[in-house]
Each structure stands twice: as structure tokens, then as C-alpha cells.
Amino acid sequence: MRITCSLTLIGLCCAAALLKAQYAETYVYTDSNGLYRLTQSGASYFARLSLNCTEKKQPHTLEHYNVKDKDPSHYWPSFYGCYDWHSAVHNHWALLKLYITHPNLPEADKIRQKLNTSFSEQAIAEETAFFERNEEGWFEFPYGQAWLLKIADELHRWNHPQGRVWLSRLNPLIQFIEAQHVKFWSAPDTLMWSGSHNSPALGMSFAWDYAVSFKNTELQQAIKNAAVKRYGSVKSLKIELEPDTIRYDFMSAGFLVADLMRKIKSPVEFQNWLQACEPELFNPEGTKKRLAIQYRNKHDGMEAHYDGYYLNRIWCMNGLLKALPIKALNFKTRQAWVKCMNTMWNYAQKSIGIGNYDIDHWLSSFSVFAVLGYEYPEISGTK
């Protein structure tokens, strides 16, 4: 019976992969620069994946906690799905982003209902209370908390009546998290290089976007000082050491640092900094060499972290392309960047949407951020 079930499951997964392959080409199109962008069907596809996981209570990391009540919604009434709190948050970001950029999606009503429920005053009050009484407020810092600030940033930039309602309801939790970020980034600390949940670069990068949106100069200054102290004098992004096969990093530590630094520097200053760190990225052959994919046969479990790693590289590189002066990269070099980014996307998508929940619970939102996360030119470096 077990063999029969296993064969059936394998057959279903293969069928799902085949069906996905037939339609995958309709999920993206290439824009005038050759970069992938989501089609309406692609937006709908990722919306369905994120809707499914934000409602799914089990499996959940709570199963590994020494608590009697294993229902995550009793602790986190807003962000209980997607296996863990931070994945629930960035899938809510993905739903919000898709709702804003593709308002005519078939899933639009379901997205609005989900966000309206998750962002209710009562639910957010309970989420805030959890933060106040656990881990001295450092629960999910910096990674998960930074994603919540990204939701606030998105709502503020949307500048829509519905967005203002949701932002108002989220405000107690946002204010708590904002205070934690001001406190932490204002304190002295040493250099940390990470492509995992403890990445200072990711935490500061999203918090910076939030601070710029809300004109929080105190937080901006704290982040700028911390970023310059940690990364201002680095000589390399160390991308030859990526991805980290010991920690199973799911993001690019080096490109996260570059994504942060392009926000706190002027375009010319950032170009000079990046050229000093990674001169090979400024010629076609060097780009191909530095950004070559390390192909793997497996796309499940911890191996799927490498799919997230490449999606993260895409979103960082999108940000870098927006920040660099137009003449910083010649035509052939820019095309090499674009080709590498699109190849990364094609590789990462092999693992998504074929029935592996350990993948879909987070890579759907990473896919959305890869192509939609940095479409706002006003956050592409300070002028």
C-alpha cells in the first residue's frame, strides 16, 4: 500500500510539473529591457499559491515548541499560516503587491477579504501583545519584522483609501517594530555577513524603505550609520563563496549588502563602491563568470533554499539596475546582467507550484518580489 501511494504521489507530482511547464511561459513576459515581468496569468498563479498558504495552519513550526496548544492562529491571528510567522508576513506582502499592481485579478476579492481579516484591529492588537510579552520584543528580528515594515511601506506608497484603512489598523504593531529597529541599529555592532534570517543587510534595507516612505529621519540616520560602519569599507561582496552550503543560505549575502548600500548612497557614489568591490560585474564576461548558476538536481527540502537564493539575487539586481547611472554598464554588460537574471528565474521556478509545501510556503512571495519588489524609482538611491 505504501509503495502504491508513493508511486501515485510521484505520478501526481510529475503530472503537475508537466502541466506547469506547459503554462509557465505565460507567467512572465519580457519588457523593453529584456527583463521578466509578470503577466496577468502569472500574477493569478502566484496569488493562488500565497492565498493557499496564508490560510494553511499545518504543518507549522509551532509543532516543535513545547506548548500544548498547537494552533498557530491562537498566537498569531493575522500571520498564522505558511509554516512560520515570517513566511506568513511576506506572503501577505505578496498578496498586497499583486492586489495593487493587478487589481483585476480573478482572485482580487479573495485577496481583499484575506487582507481585511488579517489586518483587523482585533487581530493586530493580539499580534502586538504577543510581541510585547515574548523575547523582549525581539521575536522575528530582523527578518520577519523587516517584512512587516515592507508591508507598511507598500501601503503608504499605494496612497489608496483602502490602504490607509489597513495601515491605520496595522499601526500599533508597526510602531512597536519601528521602535525596535531604531533601538537596534543605533547600537554599535560588528560586521555580519549572512544570507539567512539574521541578515543585518536585509533588515536594514527594508527598514530603510519604510523610513524613507514615512520620513523617519531618526531611523534613516541610524541605518545609514550602521550600514557605513559595517559595509562601507568592504573590499568584496564575496559572491564566489555563495551560496553557503553549510548554512543553506536562502538569500545572497553579498547582493543584500549591495542592495542596502545603493539606497544610502548617491548613484555615482554607489557605482564607485560597487566597482571597487566587484569590478567583474562591469564587463560581460566577468558578469557571466560571477553570476553563473550552480545547478543542482534536487529542488526540495533544504535544497530549495538555493532557489530562493537566486530569486533574491534577481530582486537585488533589479534594485541595482535602477540605482546605477545609466552609463555605468555598457549595452553588452547590461544584457549579460539581464540574461543571468532571467536564467536564475527559469531555474528557480522548477521547484514552485508542483505540490511541495516546503517550497510553496515561501518561494511564491520571493518570486513576486523578484519581479515586482523594486518598481518604485524613488527608492533607488538618495539624490
> Which pLDDT score is estimated for 66?
75
Query: What pLDDT is attached to residue 63?
Result: 82
Question: What pLDDT score does 20 carry?
Answer: 53
The answer, yes or no, to whether residue 189 has pLDDT greater than 90, is no
C-alpha cell at 283: 564587463
pLDDT at 50 over 80: yes
pLDDT per residue over 227-270, tens digit each?
999 999 999 999 999 988 777 899 999 999 999 999 999 999 99
CA distance 165 to 156: 11
Higher-confidence residue of 188 and 8: namely 188
Other CB atoms within 10 Å distance of the CB of residue 275: 14
Tell me the per-residue pLDDT of 292-329, one tens digit each, with 9 for 90 and over: 999 988 787 788 899 999 999 999 999 999 999 999 99
pTM here is 0.92
In the predicted model, what is the mean pLDDT of residues 107-136?
A: 98
What is the model's pLDDT at position 7? Answer: 36
Q: Model confidence at 25, in pLDDT bands (50, 70, 90)? A: low
What are the backbone dihedrals phi and psi of residue 352, each rounded to the nearest 5 degrees, phi first? Answer: -100, 140
In this predicted structure, what is the pLDDT of residue 191? 79
Computed over its alpha carbons, how large is the radius of gyration of the chain?
20
The reported pLDDT for the residue numbered 6 is 39
pLDDT in tens, 266-284: 999 999 999 999 999 999 9
% of the chain surpassing 90 pLDDT: 80
What is the mean predicted confidence (pLDDT) over 53-81?
Answer: 93
The mean of the pLDDT values for the chain is 91
**Interval 191-201: pLDDT, tens:** 789 999 999 99
